[in-house]
A and B are shown apart, each in its own frame.
Chain A
């Protein structure tokens, strides 16, 4: 199962956080929430908080790529924040490391995922 959270940062960026496994079963809801944030006129940027993500499959990666493209189309910045080491490694292996602005999780904060 997966949980989503939404908040707004003080600088106006919309933050969508994901907790759980990002796979085919949840990408539709994830995309809906993320794209809704991008469509908000007051949200100048979108942060995807991946701290709670324990697993991402190819559909999950596809969803991240989709959000990246939609953000670029709208001229809004997309940042992946609190990216765990394992998620970072996955992005590296799939060639996506350089495609995203990534803010890694603090070293030691990775809870062994």
Chain B
């Protein structure tokens, strides 16, 4: 944003400077043009001085010496007096080395008519080759300009003086050529603005020479040169040309300001967007955290509902494991259970509630404790399942439940099982490993139904493995492939201590990416 401001200011300054410079150049050009016009006016004014003097000399050629004074008076008197070009005038005639005054008009001349100064001045007019000479004179606090014009044929010389107002202001500025100008006019032997040569000006003489934008023009004036120095009094060019730099400056500053505001707006928007992104990230992290917390809570709930201690069944080792699915908070409703029922009777259940989440866990708890109650009461597995089938309904519960229920005697190894839609358990007995054949009834929740039971025998050292479908099921393959894998994996591990066996079985069988949870319950009949 600072960059934009600096760039804007720089561009504004450059544009303003360029236009101001162009305006100044225009002003200079206009001033020079106007000064030339003013000089032309000045040349015309000079003619009004020279012309009467030339006329007076011409008359002398015609009339001859005896009537010289009368003719001069008649011709020249109209040019002498107040409000006329000259204050004083006289006619002189060369007689040998000096000049004799023939006639005089108006006020007394500043130069003494009998003195040598006037003789020298007249002589200068006669001999310098320039028949018209000019001098600036100071008489007290007054300034005058003296002119002399000679005629070498007749030997006559006209002398005249012109007054310069005390304030050095000349009526020349009445001409329109001077309207817009301050000026100062100098008379000197050469072009220049020497203070001593200054004759008339429209400004305070003390403030001379003119400064700032100035121009000069020169006009030959007899044996001298008039120098006209000028300065514009106002702006000579168009108003627009004069104001354009200021317009540019103002416009540029406004534009820069606007750009800065827009930039600030954009910066703020970006900051807001960044802060929004941060907020969203934070929210996601919070969701993640909550998600993790909820999952941890669900797993804790699940584990809390699973038996933690060995049920203490004589002659029977029991090991179990529960693994939650790999992703998500939605833990499943798998469970296992093993209880001692009577003196030599024990019961076990492995079950699976469809779906997942807290309500599946709740349904699992209901199924688990309902079955446990019937089994504890002495019901056989088929009876327990049948009673349960009347209490669970997919239409109201939203879940189906598969369960393998077994009741056995640790003393004989005889085990009776009933199955509500659950994967068949595996029996490892000596070198043989096989799925235990049994009738499979409807899952709980499908409606009231009966179950058939089957009985098999577990020899000493035999291991029964019950599990939920997560152990064998993978999306990309058929269920038989998973069952075959289990059938191949189990014999390799069967010699291990039961806890290690269960752990390693899970490690070998589990699909790390599976979202399904797994429960495994293993029973090994050992000598008492």
| Interface set of A (CB-CB < 8 Å, partner B) | 21, 24, 54-55, 57-59, 61-62, 65-66, 68-70, 72-73, 85-86, 89-90, 92-96, 99, 113
Contacts and interface: CB of A to CB of B under 8 A. Distances in A.
Given A57-B516, A58-B469, A61-B354, A93 B475 contact: no
Nearest to B441: A95
Contacts of A55: 475
B439 to A, nearest CB: 8
B394 A95 contact: no
A95 B475 CA distance: 20
A58 B479 contact: no
Nearest to A24: B355
**Interface residue range, chain B:** 20 to 34
Given A58-B402, A89-B480, A21 B354 contact: no
B394 A62 contact: yes
Given A21-B475, A55-B475, A93-B423, 18 more contacts: A54-B475, A57-B473, A58-B355, A58-B469, A61-B421, A61-B443, A62-B399, A66-B394, A69-B446, A70-B395, A86-B478, A89-B478, A89-B479, A94-B402, A94-B443, A95-B420, A95-B442, A96-B446
Given A58-B352, A58-B354, A68 B423 contact: no
B188 interface: no
A70 to B, nearest CB: 7
Contacts of B399: 62
Contacts of B398: 62
Q: Which are the 5 A-B pairs with shortest beta-carbon distances?
A: A58-B354, A95-B440, A62-B354, A95-B421, A94-B421
Contacts of A93: 421, 423-424, 440, 479
B299 interface: no
Contacts of A99: 442, 446
A99 B421 CA distance: 11
Nearest to B476: A55
A21 B515 CA distance: 14
* Most B Cβ at <10 Å: residue of A58, A68, A86: A58
B443 A65 contact: yes
A55 B474 CA distance: 9
Contacts of A113: 478
B442 A86 contact: no
B445 interface: yes
B356 interface: yes
Interface string B440-481: 111101110000000000000000000001000101001110
Contacts of A58: 352-355, 400, 402, 469
A43 B63 CA distance: 151
Contacts of B298: none
B419 interface: yes
A96 B443 contact: yes
A84 to B, nearest CB: 9
Nearest to B395: A69
A95 B385 CA distance: 13
A62 B445 contact: yes
B290 to A, nearest CB: 21
B440 A66 contact: no
Contacts of B419: 95
A69 to B, nearest CB: 5
A96 B442 contact: yes
A62 B440 contact: no
10 contacts: A62-B394, A62-B443, A62-B445, A68-B446, A93-B440, A94-B440, A95-B402, A95-B420, A95-B440, A96-B421
A54 B478 CA distance: 9
Nearest to B352: A58
A96 B422 CA distance: 10
Contact of A69 (B354, B402, B423, B447): B447
B391 to A, nearest CB: 15
